[in-house]
Amino acid sequence: MDKTALKFERMREDMVENQIISRGISDPKVIAAMLRVPRHLFVSDALMDQAYGDFPLPIGEQQTISQPYIVAEMTQALNLNEEDRVLEIGTGSGYQAAVIAEIVYRVYTIERIHELYVRARTLFDKLQYFNIVTRYSDGTLGWAAESPFDAIIVTAGSPAVPDFLISQLAKGGRLVIPVGNQDSQDLIRLYKDDKGIHETNLGACRFVKLVGEQGWKE
């Protein structure tokens, strides 16, 4: 490994120790995935040295890559298994999709901004994430043709849980989504079984808005 890669690997280890494990994330799959994904490659060159900091960063188009801890928290809440097929709404930088792709069989991720979609697809190919399937469209409608999904993650804030996403969730499936107004949301986890939908509130969070037919209007 060259010097730069080694430097970023050290920063990544510190990030996982001081932001993830120390705050109670315990799923070994999530910890291993976050140690592997080179987060600095998901931001612009100018921001690389800040990529492992305890904060979100701009990725262009007025969008952001989430803070490392929130990525870990949402991934853990999905309760992922090796054979799972997972839908992500809001590809953005592609970082969250890559973390999930380290754990599961296949990730389907949808982005509505063309430039971000192209950039993420190019990076997935470069990093050889062949189990990530990308799509450019309105993710609030889900991805019916590939449903049902074992887990669905929405990485943008929504006024409510889109019905399409609930219906595309498999029995035993988990859905994690920030729900609230445009300034602050609650991170909601839904679990679907024979008896219906069970909801838990994981606490306050703040995301950019989910824009689409079942989300906010532009």
Which residues carry out catalysis? 66
Q: Report the alpha-carbon distance of residue 193 to residue 196 in Å, rounded.
A: 5
Q: Are 138 and 117 in contact (CB under 8 A)?
A: no
- What lies within 8 Å, CB to CB, of 212 at 6+ separation is 112, 138, 139, 140, 141
Q: Between residues 84 and 109, which has the closer beta carbon with respect to ligand SAH?
A: 109
Within its chain, how far is the Cα of 106 from the centroid? 14
Q: How far is the CB of 211 from ligand SAH (least distance, A)?
A: 4
Asked if 158 is part of the footprint of ligand SAH (rule: CB under 6 A), the reply reads: no
Q: Between residues 144 and 171, which has the closer beta carbon with respect to ligand SAH?
A: 144
Q: Are 144 and 165 in contact (CB under 8 A)?
A: no
Q: Between residues 171 and 217, which has the closer beta carbon with respect to ligand SAH?
A: 217
Q: Which range in 32-40, 180-188, 189-197, 205-213 contacts ligand SAH by CB under 6 A?
A: 205-213
Q: Are 145 and 164 in contact (CB under 8 A)?
A: no
Residues 66-95: x where in contact with ligand SAH by CB under 6 A, - otherwise, as a string? x----------------------xx-xx-x
Residues 98-137: x where in contact with ligand SAH by CB under 6 A, - otherwise, as a string? ------------xxxx--x---------------------
Q: Are 209 and 217 in contact (CB under 8 A)?
A: no
Q: What is the DSSP pairing of strand 169-180 with strand 185-193?
A: antiparallel
Q: Are 127 and 197 in contact (CB under 8 A)?
A: no
Beta strand ranges found along the chain (DSSP E): 57-60, 63-65, 85-89, 106-111, 132-136, 149-154, 169-180, 185-193, 196-205
Q: Which range in 8-16, 18-26, 63-71, 187-195 contacts ligand SAH by CB under 6 A?
A: 63-71
Q: How far is the CB of 13 from ligand SAH (least distance, A)?
A: 20
Asked if 96 is part of the footprint of ligand SAH (rule: CB under 6 A), the reply reads: yes
Q: Between residues 44 and 198, which has the closer beta carbon with respect to ligand SAH?
A: 44
Asked if 64 is part of the footprint of ligand SAH (rule: CB under 6 A), the reply reads: yes
Residues binding ligand SAH (CB under 6 A): 63-66, 89-90, 92-93, 95-96, 110-113, 116, 138-140, 155-156, 208, 210-212, 215
